[in-house]
Amino acid sequence: MTATTVTVENPLLIGHGLPPFDQIRVEQVVPGMTQLLSEVNDQLTELEANLEPTWASAVEATERLTERLSWSWGIVTHLLSVQNSPELRQAQETMQPEVVKFWMRLGQSAPLYKAYKALRDRDDWNQLELAQQRVVTAGIREMELGGVGLDGEGRDRFNAIQLELSQLSTTFSNHVLDATKAFSLPLPLPEDVEGLPPSLLAQAAQAARAAGDESATPDAGPWLITLDIPSYLPFMQHSRRRDLREVLYRAYITRAASGELDNQPVIDRMLTLRQEMANLLGYGSYAELSLASKMAPNVAAVDALLESLRAASYTAAQQDLATLRDFARSQGAPAADDLQPWDVTFWAERMREQKYALNAEALRPYFPLERVLEGLFGLANRIFGITITSADGEAPVWHPDVRYFRVADETGAAIAYFYLDPYSRPAEKRGGAWMDYCINRAKQIENGVATVRLPVAYLVCNQTPPVDGKPSLMTFNEVETLFHEFGHGLQHMLTTVDYTSAAGIHNVEWDAVELPSQFMENWCYDRATLFSLAQHYETGEPLPESDYQKLLAARNFMSGSGMLRQLHFSLVDIELHHRYQPGGSETPNDVRNRLAQTTTVMLPLPEDAFLCAFGHIFAGGYAAGYYSYKWAEVLSADAFSAFEEAGLEDEAAIAQTGRRFRATVLSLGGSQHPMDVFKAFRGREPDTTALLRHNGLAA
């Protein structure tokens, strides 16, 4: 192919099927999205002129329109997360306002709103399936929350806010990525790496080579530590150099908090705009607006749950810290009487090693990624009856490390597919782990023949990559993260709902969406599951029984501190979006520090700018919704206790309970209210008993 050859069709305009990642180029984004937006805007105009209050005319026609745009723009936003570049950023920033304008136009379409309401008010409304009714009802609510009832200056202002918020969210995320990437800690001398495990030395030498020092080796260095979690966390756990831990910790907590990458003005502006947006829609706070489409009935219910868990965990967290100080003192550590945040992770790891004789690093060789996947897929077969096999080569991928898998039912027929992008790539991939949808399940009719479009998911992690010819050797935490994201994927892939707007994770209230993911984490401690995936990558030897017992014993190690940390995030989020007044006497950081008095047992440092990297609420979907992790964990712990009651050693009972979980929680998606779905599985409403018991905090 010569350099002047042009592609006949822009791949972003295909609009369906697997994304052709091998054909997509950054320079195609702006012309492709410009053309697509012109087409869907014209189609919306035509749709509005011919609307009737029927399912086919109002709902199906709208879905066809929006799915084209979602498919194309979804590819762009996905690539921005996993293959970030200055050129792609520029293209995304150019087109994002135009995409947002289309969604606003659709959400504020008076003809569409009237058609949906007329459909709901028809005499034959009850002849629609429950899933269809949920789609229509949710559509009406979303349009009302999207400003369809506003007009004139109010609507103009609301739309301006929406546009600005979408841009600020992207800016926030880019600032965090750039700030994380901008810092590195060179370690030129052997004394700089005292205490570091071989896996981190290999990784740090590889980072030094990537930064230009070809001579770097794991044994002789030099080494380079970054703020990327697979590098940062093991250093904080194992480095004996307290001075270097302090340097790294201070760099981590001040990310995106100064200079050109300062997110503090972004946060101020976002909170101000969210409050104004809520007021325009008649809500007293952004939290009230956020909860209008969630499972929790009101802010008071969220406050009550969080406070009950805080009361159960605060004393335990205080005891955790006192015990940690005593332990450091027993080891003759001068730091014991002046324990600082950069000491906590280090001494907690030492105490865990001594108390349970458990060395997290020593377990890595037992968790090579391939074996972990075999065990995970074996579990899915045991409890859900599905078979997962490699489909590498059947779909274009965005990076050579990306895998592709096929999911089949009991008959062997394919029911879903998913991509897995497992490894950390700090130069281009945002941190954390997530699941997103690539293709939604839907019933399609062509030439009178009905077919089902199979769902496809993205599962993205940031675990330790392969180093020096060794496979990716995972920490136990990374194993739990993989199980978590796979749980989200299962809800997307195992749905049996044929209406795309209620299939899988769609139309599931946000505070229930973590149920399957947190449920799956419990299986990491199940004997049969763990022994199916924990085998030494060189010898094939299974994980020693003694190590399994240590993992079980250490499961609730400092669990009071762990729960309190999540509650701190949740309470800060709700406070900022409900009671905090932008422009008042307090700054967002003041709010965080005030709440820290009762939600932390070691107060943040004065310069701690944690909020500047709190992407969940400023660059993700968790604004006034971070509590969802705890809300859903009540559900997930209670759901897992159904398997405990059936007997985890009883394969037949586990399979029976698993099929029931699949037929309810994983199958019904957003077709029913999550409380009804939970009761269909559990036979009753949830309670917090199992969550507190699993965390060792039950009274």
Residues marked as catalytic = 485
Instruction: Give 444-461 as a DSSP string.
Output: EEETTEEEEEPPEEEEEE
Q: What amino acid occupies position 513?
A: V
Measured from the Cβ of residue 227, the count of other Cβ atoms closer than 10 Å reads: 22
The DSSP code for 525 is G
Residue (of 171, 174, 159) closest to 270 by Cα position: 171
The C-alpha atoms of residue 622 and residue 613 are separated, in whole angstroms, by: 14
Q: What is the 3-state secondary structure (H, E, C) of 139-191?
A: HHHHHHHCCCCCCHHHHHHHHHHHHHHHHHHHHHHHHHHHHHHHCEEEECCHH
Q: What is the strand order of the sheet 414-423 is part of? A: 387-390, 403-408, 414-423, 456-463, 434-439
CA distances from 617 to 276, 286, 394, 509 (A): 17, 12, 36, 17
Question: DSSP 3-state assignment of 98?
Answer: helix
The C-alpha atoms of residue 425 and residue 431 are separated, in whole angstroms, by: 9
Residue (of 222, 194, 196) closest to 209 by Cα position: 222
Q: In whole angstroms, how large is the CA radius of gyration of the chain?
A: 26
The C-alpha atoms of residue 418 and residue 416 are separated, in whole angstroms, by: 7
CA distances from 38 to 30, 479, 561 (A): 12, 45, 52
Who contacts 477 (Cβ-Cβ below 8 Å, separation ≥6)?
Answer: 360
Phi/psi at 666 (nearest 5 deg)?
-85, -25
The C-alpha atoms of residue 198 and residue 315 are separated, in whole angstroms, by: 37
CA distances from 210 to 196, 229, 233, 407 (A): 20, 17, 20, 37
The C-alpha atoms of residue 106 and residue 656 are separated, in whole angstroms, by: 44
Q: Which long-range contacts (CB under 8 A, 24 or more apart) does 525-530 make?
A: 525/551, 525/552, 525/555, 526/379, 526/648, 527/648, 527/649, 528/382, 528/648, 528/649, 529/375, 529/378, 529/379, 530/375
* 258 burial via Cβ count (<10 Å: 0-12, 13-18, 19+): middle
Please give the structure tokens belonging to residue 464. 């330790």
